[in-house]
Amino acid sequence: MKRSHFSRRGVLKTGAVAGAGLMLPTYLRAQDSGFTNAPTGDTVTFGFNVPQTGPYAEEGLDELRAQELAVQHLNGEGDGGMLSTFSSKTLDGTGVLGKKVNFVTGDTQTKSDVGRASAQSMIQKDGCIMINGGSSSGVAVAVQGLCQEAGVIFMAGLTHSNDTTGKDRKANGFRHFFNAYMSAAAMTPVLEKAYGNDRQAYHLTADYTWGWTQQESMAAATEAVGWSTVQNVLTPVGAGDFSSYIAPVLNSGADILVLNHYGGDMVNSLTQAVQFGLKGKQVNGKDFQIVVPLYSELMAKGAGSNIEGVYGSMNWNWQLEDEGTKAFVKSFGEKYGFPPSNAAHTCYVQTLLYADAVTRAGSFNPCAVAEALEDFEFDGMGNGPTLYRGADHQCFKDVLVMEGTASASGNANMVGYDTLKIIEQTPRAQVEYPEDHPMFAGGSLGECNPGA
């Protein structure tokens, strides 16, 4: 087993072969305790499965930084971060149920089949009791399905598709990150106020589950306030050159471009849209505008000055002033020299939430853990009062609306991290929806699977 480059202590890096079979070896099924990979020694292993290569790699590498930090805090190393601000006080820096936490890592490559195979290897070969990670909803949905079959808990990382806790929801899967519906619900009042009701929107949309549900959510919300959707064009993930998709926008009659893109794809498509002169263009007697529904600090850093004046939404941002955010930003900044992204934040929080649920349940049994997480209300983790709804395993909390701005930092480590400003902290009530909302219909949690 190879050691991760992130730490030399108790950290393993797993490999995976795409297409490997799902059958779990009998020695990994702890029949006496009744669930998959029940820990028997003085350690327990978490699996951190993120894109370390591919178009979402920057997000994945930041998730890994936060995951390692969470493990250090659980094991009593460092300053403890959010352990001191978390409203639940069960975690004390002595590991989880007296066991030291180790972890293994995998590279999803931002590909669903590779991500599933990587998680499978962690469960089969490394004995992982929990899988955490993501940066692509396609990967998250695939890995969540595998964890349901294998009988381990999946604590989703960065996954924003409605489907993750909608039609593809699973009893063994939990999402802290917000979703496409929430982005649209938070952003639309801001967009209406800034740009009015009479707008013609052209969508470029990543061709997979997240892009589809993000576009559907944005179109429905903006059309409800008077906007029209001129065109929706699907684009491949990792396209790199989006010029052939942007050129038709110029003569479409649209005066808004909605980029349902993420990671390196958003950086490239936004940069190319600006190079085509869209931001300075006059259409229908209005200034042409660009909207990016899902933002991250790393995307803003990559896009540079092109981000100025562009609205988007976020799950969390390091500039918040609550005590939980301050504690996490301090710990992360001291270790790595720059602030954490919202992808890093959600993976850190999910790792602590899992450990807390295990401790409150008094067991690593995934069904006991799931029961402890369902309808759990907590605070002190950077998002204000938060509910882990039992009906669909979706967290409900405030959502941030952001606007790109010019960097004002003289610190080289901060350049790009201060180019997004918070213009609204949308209250949780505004982004809530019933569990049977049409955009989330067609799925069922089913029964928790302990795997034995």
Task: Write out the DSSP string of 100-129.
Answer: EEEEEEEE-TT-HHHHHHHHHHHHHHH--S
Q: Are residues 199 and 335 in the same domain?
A: no
Q: What is the pLDDT of residue 287?
A: 97
Are the CB atoms for 48 and 132 separated by under 8 Å? yes
Over 50: is that where the pLDDT of 20 sits? no
pLDDT tens-digit map of 192-243: 999 999 999 999 999 999 999 999 999 999 999 999 999 999 999 988 899 9
Which helix (H) or strand (E) segment holds residue 421: the answer is strand 420-426
The answer to whether residue 28 sits within a structural domain is: no
Give the SS3 label for residue 151. coil
The answer to whether residue 240 sits within a structural domain is: yes
Ramachandran region, residue 127 (left: φ > 0; alpha: ψ -120 to 50; beta: rest) = left
Q: Are residues 281 and 423 in the same domain?
A: yes
The answer to whether residue 77 sits within a structural domain is: yes
How does residue 280 score in pLDDT terms, banded at 50, 70 and 90? Answer: confident
The answer to whether residue 400 sits within a structural domain is: no
Are the CB atoms for 143 and 62 separated by under 8 Å? no
Q: Are residues 301 and 425 in the same domain?
A: yes
Q: What is the pLDDT of residue 411?
A: 63
The answer to whether residue 399 sits within a structural domain is: no
CA distances from 327 to 149, 300, 379 (A): 37, 23, 13
- This prediction's pTM: 0.91
Over 80: is that where the pLDDT of 14 sits? no
Q: Are residues 115 and 160 in the same domain?
A: yes
Q: What is the CATH number of the domain that holds 423?
A: 3.40.50.2300
Q: Which domain holds residue 329?
A: 43-178+318-392
Residue 363 is encoded by which pair of tokens?
């067991």
How does residue 32 score in pLDDT terms, banded at 50, 70 and 90? Answer: very low
Q: Are residues 326 and 307 in the same domain?
A: no
How does residue 409 score in pLDDT terms, banded at 50, 70 and 90? Answer: low
Query: Residue 373: what are its φ and ψ, rounded to 5°?
Result: -80, -30
Q: Give mean pLDDT, residues 416-445.
A: 93
Q: Are residues 188 and 282 in the same domain?
A: yes
Comparing CA positions, the residue from 283, 343, 319 lying closest to residue 65 is 343
Q: What is the pLDDT of residue 416?
A: 67
Q: What is the pLDDT of residue 452?
A: 72
Q: Are residues 198 and 303 in the same domain?
A: yes
- How many domains does one find in the chain? 2
Q: Cα dihedral sign for 106, 95, 69, 369?
A: positive
Q: Are residues 172 and 185 in the same domain?
A: no
Angle (CA) 243 288 297, round 5°: 70
Q: What is the pLDDT of residue 418?
A: 86
Comparing CA positions, the residue from 4, 109, 6, 114 lying closest to residue 57 is 109
The mean pLDDT value of the chain amounts to 91
Q: Are residues 212 and 288 in the same domain?
A: yes
The answer to whether residue 112 sits within a structural domain is: yes
pLDDT tens-digit map of 139-158: 999 999 999 999 999 999 99
Over 60: is that where the pLDDT of 4 sits? no
The answer to whether residue 2 sits within a structural domain is: no
Q: Are residues 110 and 159 in the same domain?
A: yes
Give the SS3 label for residue 166. coil
- Please give the Cα distance from 126 to 104 (Å, whole number): 8
pLDDT tens-digit map of 355-374: 999 999 999 999 999 999 99
- How deeply is 119 buried, as exposed, middle or buried, from its count of CB atoms within 10 A (0-12, 13-18, 19+)? buried
Q: What is the pLDDT of residue 205?
A: 98
**What residues form DSSP beta bridges with 233?**
204
Q: What is the pLDDT of residue 30?
A: 37
Are the CB atoms for 195 and 255 separated by under 8 Å? no
pLDDT tens-digit map of 71-118: 999 999 999 999 999 999 999 999 999 999 999 999 999 899 999 999
Give the SS3 label for residue 293. strand
What's the full length of the chain, in residues?
452
